[in-house]
């Protein structure tokens, strides 16, 4: 048994505990997404399915260190693990995918476009990079009200989004405003089918931090411990008033862009390289090798996740879809400003 005290990091994170915790959400995310991909292939999902296979460690490592009810977390399309770690119930994901009227988006939006803004999880739009400034605005509002405390806001993007003007504007603005923002860039090497060589020409994405006057860190996205420590440092620096933090996770997307995509364009040599390792398998191995958990407990965790996922999908699948006839077809909240379109 490893001495747990020796695994403590500077800011008091107990690595074995955080590792176990993150691992649990990684298992849940992988289990859910494998199941939902099967349901998709069975033709029971309206719209697409986008999974975070290979990115679970990077995703969970951030969210597991945030506090729901206090912090802000803006996940992107491959952050099922982070969403679960931040406290999103599996049933919410199942309902949004299955189109249940009881889901948080009530059938008005689907799959990964879900959130609960009042609980600190803005609902992503598809336009990449657009959520960063929204998180900044949430932090900004709390600071104006004197309610910021040690809140931290996190926004997740991928390598593709770094090419957008939205990301540039948002990073620059957050730096100017010195907001306690952590921006996680999952560098999974491909934006849909486009490799990084066609996405950016800088040597390393982390160097962009210098240009914004903020701090940047790179972590090994296949190594949960490295991800946990990288985010732990970034979160404490943000909380300590050191401004926005960029954390780049080097990893490989172990799936297509969506389940409709066989990702044939990812060369075998990249898949076989170090970044092509499966973070979940690596974490499980380390967990047992370090003696932080047992094979039996891991098996039990996986079994429990399978049951939870099965139940959630069954439940959501049995719920009523939204009813177009009784639906409230108003896009404005203020009744007096609703347009009287009589030809509808």
Chain positions contacting other proteins, by CB under 8 A: 104-106, 108-109, 113, 115-118, 122-123, 125-127, 130-142, 144-145, 165-166, 169-170, 172-173, 176, 330-334, 336-340, 342-343
Q: Closer CB to other proteins, residue 57 or residue 167?
A: 167
Only one residue has tokens 């657009």, namely 130
Question: Which residues are CB-contacts of 260 (< 8 A; sequence separation ≥ 6)?
Answer: 48
Q: How far is the CB of 255 from other proteins (least distance, A)?
A: 26
Q: Closer CB to other proteins, residue 172 or residue 263?
A: 172
End-to-end CA distance of the chain: 69
Q: How far is the CB of 156 from other proteins (least distance, A)?
A: 15
Q: How far is the CB of 341 from other proteins (least distance, A)?
A: 8
Q: Closer CB to other proteins, residue 133 or residue 218?
A: 133
| Tokens, residue 243 | 């401004």
Q: Closer CB to other proteins, residue 125 or residue 300?
A: 125
CB of 170 closer than 8 Å to CB of 137: no
What are the phi and psi torsion angles at 65 (to 5°)?
Answer: -100, 5
Largest CA distance in the chain: 73
Q: How far is the CB of 176 from other proteins (least distance, A)?
A: 5
User: How many other CB atoms are there within 10 angstroms of residue 41's CB atom?
Assistant: 12
Q: How far is the CB of 118 from other proteins (least distance, A)?
A: 6
Q: Closer CB to other proteins, residue 325 or residue 337?
A: 337
In sequence order, what are the beta bridge partners of 74?
155
Instruction: Give the C-alpha separation, 240 to 238, whole Å.
Output: 5
């Amino acid at each position: 048994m490893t001495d747990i005290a020796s695994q403590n990091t500077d800011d008091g994170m107990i690595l074995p505990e955080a590792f176990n915790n993150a691992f649990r959400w990684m298992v849940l995310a992988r289990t859910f997404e494998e199941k939902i991909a099967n349901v998709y292939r069975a033709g029971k999902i309206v719209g697409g399915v986008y999974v975070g296979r290979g990115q679970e460690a990077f995703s969970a490592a951030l969210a597991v260190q945030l506090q729901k009810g206090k912090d802000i977390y803006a996940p992107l399309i491959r952050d099922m693990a982070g969403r679960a770690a931040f406290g999103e119930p599996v049933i919410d994901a199942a309902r949004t995918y299955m189109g249940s009227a009881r889901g948080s988006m009530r059938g008005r939006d689907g799959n990964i476009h879900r959130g609960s803004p009042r609980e600190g999880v803005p609902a992503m739009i598809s336009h990449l990079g657009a959520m960063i400034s929204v998180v900044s605005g949430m932090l900004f509002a709390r600071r104006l009200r004197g309610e910021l405390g040690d809140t931290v806001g996190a926004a997740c993007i991928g390598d593709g989004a770094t090419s957008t003007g939205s990301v540039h504007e948002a990073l620059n603005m957050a730096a100017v405003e010195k907001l306690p923002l952590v921006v996680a860039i999952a560098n999974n090497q491909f934006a849909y089918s486009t490799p990084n060589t066609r996405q950016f020409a800088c040597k390393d994405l982390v160097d962009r931090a210098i240009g914004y006057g903020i701090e940047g860190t790179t972590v090994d996205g296949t190594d949960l411990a490295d991800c946990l420590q990288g985010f732990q440092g970034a979160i404490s620096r943000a909380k300590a008033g050191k401004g926005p933090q960029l954390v780049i996770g080097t990893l490989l997307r172990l799936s297509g862009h969506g389940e409709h995509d066989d990702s044939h364009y990812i060369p075998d040599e990249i898949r076989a390289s170090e970044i092509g390792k499966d973070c979940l398998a690596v974490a499980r191995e380390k967990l047992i090798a370090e003696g932080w958990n047992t094979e039996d407990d891991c098996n039990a965790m996986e079994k429990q996740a399978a049951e939870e996922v099965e139940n959630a999908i069954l439940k959501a699948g049995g719920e009523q879809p939204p009813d177009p006839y009784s639906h409230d077809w108003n896009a404005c909240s203020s009744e007096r400003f609703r347009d009287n379109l009589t030809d509808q």
